[in-house]
Amino acid sequence: MNTIKTLLYALIMALLIKYSVIEAYNVPTGSMEDTILIGDFLLANKFIYGIRLPLIGVTLPGIRDPRPGDVVVFKWPGDRSTNYVKRCIAVGGQTVVIREKKVFVDGVEFKEYPNLKHTDRNILRSRDNFGPFRVPRDCYFMMGDNRDDSYDSRFWGPVEKELIMGKALVVHWSWGPAPDKDYPRWEWTDPLTWPASLWYNLIHFHERVRWNRLGAAVG
């Protein structure tokens, strides 16, 4: 009986931590390269922006709201369920203007963070020239650091406060691409593909882990 109580207590504590303090997220796209890479697994601080208590749907006040420059995990407004990670560019009441790839917030050029990059010299109207757009109250304008390859607030609008999940903190695991073209096909719906994929990853484990990214701060 004591063992059952201990396991139940551990489960409850794990759920509370997951839903209210720290949670892990996988990054499947390159929209935040080179700040965050495809295959990075992030830990995000959910406490800082407000704790959402599981099941009852109540949100307790956080330490502060998202600020311009924060790397934020949120639910995509398009379906309100898919996790996205972007950089907060502007908050409610601020005005965003983009002119030939340069971003301005309230008339001041937005800080270019170290890993921000452009990969396309072409100037596209919707992507590289935008606004002026005034961010609604209790909303946030998000953009990827890989500016020319990011599906973000330029295309689908601002993120409501209730969709904010947490602030990205650190890369706790990083799994790189396969080192060769012979990587076996893997589909979770097809168990027959599992053994070959598992064996391949065991053999190439030391090559696929990005050891230098483990523990890297996100910012």
Residue 153 known to be catalytic: no
DSSP 8-class letter at 209? B
Which structural domains are found in the chain, ordered by start? 2-175 (2.10.109.10)
At 158-191, the pLDDT tens digits run 999 999 989 999 998 898 887 777 777 778 788 8
Residue 86 known to be catalytic: yes
At 10-31, the pLDDT tens digits run 444 444 444 445 667 788 889 9
- CA neighbours closer than 13 Å in the CB half-sphere of residue 151: 7
**Which has more confidence, 101 or 219?**
101
Question: Mean pLDDT score of the chain, rounded to an integer?
Answer: 85
- Cβ neighbours of residue 101 closer than 8 Å, sequence gap 6 or more: 118, 123, 128, 147, 148
CB-CB neighbours of 168 under 10 Å: 26
Per-residue confidence (pLDDT) for residue 56, from 0 to 100: 58
At 57-66, the pLDDT tens digits run 666 777 899 9
Q: Are strands 40-45 and 51-52 parallel, antiparallel or unpaired?
A: unpaired
pTM: 0.81
Marked catalytic residue, from 5, 20, 81, 86: 86
Marked catalytic residue, from 20, 31, 150, 174: 31
